[in-house]
Structures are given as structure tokens and as C-alpha cells.
């Protein structure tokens, strides 16, 4: 992580950072994501901060974005490719368990507990947590 990216993360962005940044040390991650550039905004709507998960050609890092006002989270302002919004509890259920499956996510989407935009880019999370 470069020096300009070393800003203090708050709330959900900090939790997300601790989960994904160790992937930078894995050769399997570097090899699998060497050609991928994507930004996925993960917003825990019951918190004050969202986390922008950025994969940039074999490197991964998180930036924090204050989620109020709502305009901060719009694609035009934040520049995301994919967007996933739910509560912190559901995020922890999805990413904390060893069994992150498409079926679980689809059930929660149909129950309107998860909001997704740019699903093609959000699905990269399945590959990411498969490592």
C-alpha cells in the first residue's frame, strides 16, 4: 500500500480492510487478479462509513467513504463499478462464514435485505473470498 493511501479508516471500512488486505501477500491472489481493475462500494447502511474495495491489477486496498449525505455514495461521485448495500450484521454473516454462496445472497436480495447495483462487478467478491 502506498503512502498516499495510508489514511486512517473508520467503521466498516476499517473492518473490511483488515479482512482483505492480507490477500496482497498471497501469490494466488496476485496471479488470479493480475488483469482486473474494479471498484466495489460496500455500504453498511446502519453505520457511518462505507468501504470502497479497490482491486488494481493484483493489488487490493480499501478506502473509506462517509455515507451521509447519500450523494457521497452515488456512482457519479464515488466512481464505483459495483455497489452492495445491507446492514453490518448481514455483511458479517456473508463474509464471516466459510460458506459464502450465491444462493444465500439471492435469498437476501429477494427478501430486500441486500441492494446490489452492477452485479457483474459485485460477483467478483465470490472469487475473492474463494481464495
CA proximity to 75, closest of 44, 48, 39: 39
Q: Identify the pLDDT of residue 6.
A: 54
Domains of the chain listed by start with CATH number: 3-130 (3.30.1050.10)
> Per residue in 73-89, pLDDT tens?
999 999 999 999 999 88
> Per residue in 23-76, pLDDT tens?
999 999 999 999 999 999 999 889 899 999 999 998 999 999 998 889 999 999
pTM score: 0.84
Half-sphere exposure of 70 (CA within 13 A, CB side): 3
Amino acid at each position: 500500500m502506498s503512502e498516499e493511501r495510508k489514511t486512517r479508516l473508520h467503521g466498516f471500512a476499517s473492518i473490511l480492510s483488515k479482512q482483505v488486505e492480507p490477500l496482497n501477500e498471497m501469490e494466488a491472489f496476485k496471479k488470479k487478479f493480475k488483469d482486473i481493475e474494479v471498484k466495489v462500494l460496500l455500504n453498511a447502511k446502519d453505520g457511518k462509513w462505507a468501504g470502497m474495495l479497490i482491486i488494481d491489477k493484483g493489488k487490493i486496498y480499501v478506502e473509506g467513504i462517509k455515507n451521509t449525505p447519500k450523494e457521497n455514495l452515488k456512482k457519479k461521485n464515488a466512481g464505483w463499478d459495483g455497489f452492495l448495500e445491507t446492514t453490518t450484521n448481514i455483511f458479517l454473516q456473508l463474509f464471516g462464514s466459510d460458506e459464502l454462496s450465491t444462493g444465500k445472497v439471492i435469498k437476501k436480495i429477494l427478501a430486500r435485505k441486500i441492494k446490489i447495483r452492477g452485479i457483474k462487478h459485485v460477483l467478483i467478491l465470490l472469487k475473492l473470498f474463494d481464495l
